[in-house]
Structure 1
Amino acid sequence: MPSRIRTYSRLTREALGALGKQVRLARKQRGLSEADLADRIGIARSTLQLIEKGDPRVEIGLVFEAAVVTGVSLFEPEAATLAPQIARLDDKLALLPQSVRRPRREVKDDF
């Protein structure tokens, strides 16, 4: 069975590219080589290069870890402000139904 090539929206590709460039800039500003940062994250240097290029195939956890280690802000400027945001999102999610179902098709019985 041939593998299916995954496509991503332009916005997704641009966001990944921007985050990758931020990681690269922060790494260079901190005087870290690719090998140094890759060692700190626990990944291969080639994986770090993919992160910095914005490759969508890299695990999101690794991308976020690279951002955190280099000091790139993800959602909030300070980690302490992220916990209340997570709590608010948990509250909103608790109000939603547990599952989402497709609407039933209406039977066309007018012959």
Structure 2
Amino acid sequence: MKKAQHLDMLPFEAEEVATSIGKKIQLARRARGWTQSDLAAKMGVSVNMIVNLEKGLPSVAFGQVVMALWVLDGLDVLREAARVDLDPVIQQEALSRLPQRTRGSHG
């Protein structure tokens, strides 16, 4: 399997999310009356990049997704995903690293 082909493969659920984010970017762009060329110019990328971004292709760099969401005032989607307080595994790990109080040490 070629490396480029491997980059285009995502598990179904992940692919579904990538496609949905691409669609959200496309709808947000259209709601503003912008063409793909307009968004490309605002981001400093090619129209082809916007096409791939809106398709939700996994080969699009994460930074490009973040930039598109920023340009479209849509970073709240990623802010929510970045909240460590909502991840139970991270929270459990943080709790396990707290120093344990020992019996008899009251002061």
Report the TM-score, using the length of structure 1 for normalisation: 0.65
Instruction: Tell me if structure 2 keeps the 8 A contact 1:64–1:74.
Output: no
Q: Distance in 2 between matches of 1:46 and 1:71?
A: 22
Greater helix share, structure number: 2
Q: Distance in 2 between matches of 1:68 and 1:32?
A: 15
Give the percent of matched residue pairs that are identical in Structure 1 and Structure 2.
24
Over residues 25-56 of structure 1, what are the superposed CA-to-partner deviations in whole Å (9 max), with x where a residue is unaligned?
00010111111110111110000100000000
Q: CA deviation at 1:88?
A: 9.2
- Corresponding residue pairs, total: 89
CA RMSD of aligned residues (A): 2.8
Matched, 1:3 2:2: yes
Q: Distance in 1 between matches of 2:45 and 2:13?
A: 26
Structure 1 unaligned regions, length at least 5:
98-111
Q: Which residue of 2 aligns with 1:42?
A: 44
Moved over 6 A (4+): 86-89
Q: Distance in 2 between matches of 1:68 and 1:48?
A: 14
Matches within 5 A, 1:1-111: 3-4=2-3, 5-6=5-6, 7-72=9-74, 73-76=76-79, 85=83, 95=94
